[in-house]
Structures are given as C-alpha cells and as structure tokens.
Structure 1
Amino acid sequence: MAQRLATEYVNATLQMTEFQMNQFLLTADTCYISHRVKVAGGGEQVIVLEEAGGEEVRLTVENKRGIYTCSLSCRVVNSHLNNAVRKLFVTYKGTGTVNRIYKGFTMVYYYERGSVRRISELTDSGSKLIYQHKHSLSEIINVYKSDAVEREITELRRKADRLLDLRNDAQSVEECSEIDKELAAIAKVMFFLEA
C-alpha cells in the first residue's frame, strides 16, 4: 500500500455555528495536538492547530452573524495533525480541494459541503478521472419538481400566438416569410422542451 507523504488543502472553507465552534475548540486539544486563538488586525480570528513536533495549521476564521467561516490553505505532513484537520473538514462539511500526495502520484479530491464530488489521479503522464458524483435522489426529485420547463413552454406558446396574429395581419410575402422563420425556430425549441 502506498504511503501518503503529505496532504494539501487548497482554498478549503467550512462553516460552523458558535456552538459548533466552541465544541471544536473544546475537543481540539489532544495529547498530540494543541490549539491557540489569535486575533488578526481586521477583527478576524486565526486558530492555530499545532502538533507536538512543531508543525502547525492556521485556520482564518470570520464571524458573520453567528456563522463562523473558516478558510484553510495548507500542506500537512504529520499524521496526527492531518487526522485532526481531516476530521474538522469532514465534520463541518468543508468545501474545497484536497490533494493527497504519494510518491509518484497525487490523488485529488473535490469536496462540496462535506461530500466528495470528484476524485482524480495525477501522475507525470497526466490526469485520470477515478470517481464522479452522480445525482442523488433528492437532487433528482428537485429537478422533477421544477416547473421551469413548463413556464418556458408557456412563454413560447404565447410568443407563437402573437406571431400567428401578426402573420394573419401581414401585408407582404416578406413579412410572412420572416414570421414563418421565427415560428419554425419556436417549434424546434418546443419540440425539444416537450420531449
């Protein structure tokens, strides 16, 4: 089995409530990891997770109406620190790219709200897609319940009716020809939408 050399978090973000932030801070300290909170110049906080050997990860935290948004871009080598950051990222439904670096290749995980959406393998010879998220049942139900297509069809029917009225009142063959072109385009779109 390949041994992981490092893990990179690229433009990762996660959100938590004030209660969740307090819970996280209470459980952040272990026998391997300690934390400290710094206040930056703009009023934002920086949480520093530090491993006993000295490696540290900085999370920039911004509080907006009781929701804490944490930003994270770092490279982690230590396994204990890596485990702590991974648990934090998954528990609080992080979004961003996580690169798991091995000797000779990198596995790239794309997360959205704590769920893996895509996994790719990067090697010197290129990139290979390993996994792509398919629509979940709830996403399919939301698409099924959407009435956007029906509204578009209704609008196209209104436009076609107006064009037919204009065609009935047309004075020349050229006017009829232009209107017929527009009606043909509408018919093509409606056929596609109704399918």
Structure 2
Amino acid sequence: MAQRLAMEYVNATMQMTEFQLNQFLLTADTSYISHRVKVLGAGEQEIVLEEAGGEEVHLSFERRGGVYIGSLSCRVVNPHLINAVRKLFFTYKGTGTVNRIYKDLTMMYYYEAGSVRRISEVRPGGIKLIYQHKYSLAEMASVFKLQTVEREIAQIRQEINSLLDTRNRCQQEAVIREVDERLAEAAHRLFRLEA
C-alpha cells in the first residue's frame, strides 16, 4: 500500500451552527493538536489548528444568520493534523475537492454535502475517472418532477394560444371579458411555474 504524503483541500466549505462550532472547539485540543481563535470584523472568525511540530491550518468562518460558513484551502502533511481536519470536514458535511497525495499519483475526491460524487486518479500521464456518482431514486424523482413542471408550462402556453385565438375571432363583449379573465388566470399560473 502506498503511503500518503499529504492531503490537500481545495475550495472546501462546510457549515455549522454556533453550538456545533463551540463543540468542535471543545474537542479540537488533543495531545497533538491545539487551537486558537482570531475574531475578525463583522462576526467572522479564523480558527487556527496547530500541530505540536508547528504545522498550522487556518479555517475562516463567516457568520450568516445563525450559521457559520467555513472555508478551507490548504495542504496538510502531519498525520495528526490530517486526521483532525478530515474529521471536521466529514462531521460537518463538507463540499469541495480533497486531494490525497502519494509519491507517484494523486487521488482527487470531489465531495458534495459530505458525499463522494467523483473520484479521479491523477498521474503524470493523465487523469483516469475511478468513480462517478449515479442519481439516487430520490434525485431521479426530483428531476422527473422538474420535467412535470415543464410539461405543465407547455400545456398552459397551449391554453393561452387557444384563448388568444378565441378572443381574436369573437365579437361579443361578454365572451371577450370571460376570455380575458381566463387569460389573466393562465398568465398568473405560468408566471408562478416559470419563477
């Protein structure tokens, strides 16, 4: 088995509540890892995880409402620090690219909300796709539902065209008023669906 040299987090993000952030800070200190918090302007914080040997990881957290959005882009070499950052990323369902760097290759993992969506092997000779997430039943149902909306939009447009044809052919004021009311209702439904 090849020995991992480092892990790299590229444009990784995660979110947590203030309670979760405080819980993380309570458990962040171990015999190998310590932390310090820098409070920045506008409710932002920077958490620095430091390994006993001196390697550091800087995590920026921006407060939006009652949630902290953390961002992370770094390369980590120390195994204890790798483990601490990995736990943080998985616990709080991180999104982004994680590169596991070995001597002759890099394994690229793309995560979305804590789930692996794609794995690629990167070698000097090129990139090879190892795994790609396929749609789950729930995701396929939501895609189908989106197509249902598209069909309903097409049906309303046909209805509007038919009403406009009727209005153009008709000479009676009462019929024109009724058609105008139905056109307004159909236009409102169309607007809601397209939004």
* In 2, Cα distance between equivalents of 1:103 and 1:63: 39
- 1:65 corresponds to: 65
- Provide the secondary structure at the position in 2 that maps to 1:3: coil
1:152 to 1:43, Cα distance in 2 relative to 1, 3 A: closer
- 1:93 corresponds to: 93
- 1:109 corresponds to: 109
Question: Aligned letter for 2:67?
Answer: I
1:66-91 deviation digits (Å, cap 9, x = unpaired): 10111100000001100010010010
- What percentage of residue pairs aligned between the two structures are identical? 68
Matches within 5 A, 1:40-51: 40-41=40-41, 43-51=43-51
Question: Aligned letter for 1:144?
Answer: F
1:160 offset after TM fit, Å? Answer: 6.4
Matches within 5 A, 1:44-193: 44-146=44-146, 147-158=148-159, 161=162, 165=165
1:35 aligns to 2:38 (yes or no): no
Farther off after superposition, 73-82 or 154-163: 154-163
Question: Aligned letter for 1:128?
Answer: K
* In 2, Cα distance between equivalents of 1:60 and 1:123: 31
Question: Aligned letter for 2:102?
Answer: Y
Aligned-residue CA RMSD (Å): 2.0
* In 1, Cα distance between equivalents of 2:163 and 2:65: 50
* In 2, Cα distance between equivalents of 1:126 and 1:159: 54
Q: Please say if residues 43 and 63 of structure 2, whose CA atoms lie closer than 8 Å, have aligned partners that are also in contact.
A: no
Q: Please say if residues 32 and 80 of structure 2, whose CA atoms lie closer than 8 Å, have aligned partners that are also in contact.
A: yes
Question: Aligned letter for 1:83?
Answer: N
Structure 1, gaps ≥5 residues long: 170-195
- 2:18 corresponds to: 18
Question: Aligned letter for 2:63?
Answer: N
1:100 offset after TM fit, Å? Answer: 0.6
* In 2, Cα distance between equivalents of 1:61 and 1:53: 25
1:40-64 deviation digits (Å, cap 9, x = unpaired): 3555211000111110100011111
1:139 offset after TM fit, Å? Answer: 1.1
- Provide the secondary structure at the position in 1 that maps to 2:24: helix
Using the size of structure 1 for normalisation, the TM-score is 0.78
* In 1, Cα distance between equivalents of 2:114 and 2:136: 14
1:157 offset after TM fit, Å? Answer: 3.0
- 2:173 corresponds to: none
- Provide the secondary structure at the position in 1 that maps to 2:5: strand
Question: Aligned letter for 1:123?
Answer: R
1:115-146 deviation digits (Å, cap 9, x = unpaired): 11101111111111000011112212223344
Using the size of structure 2 for normalisation, the TM-score is 0.78
1:151 offset after TM fit, Å? Answer: 1.3
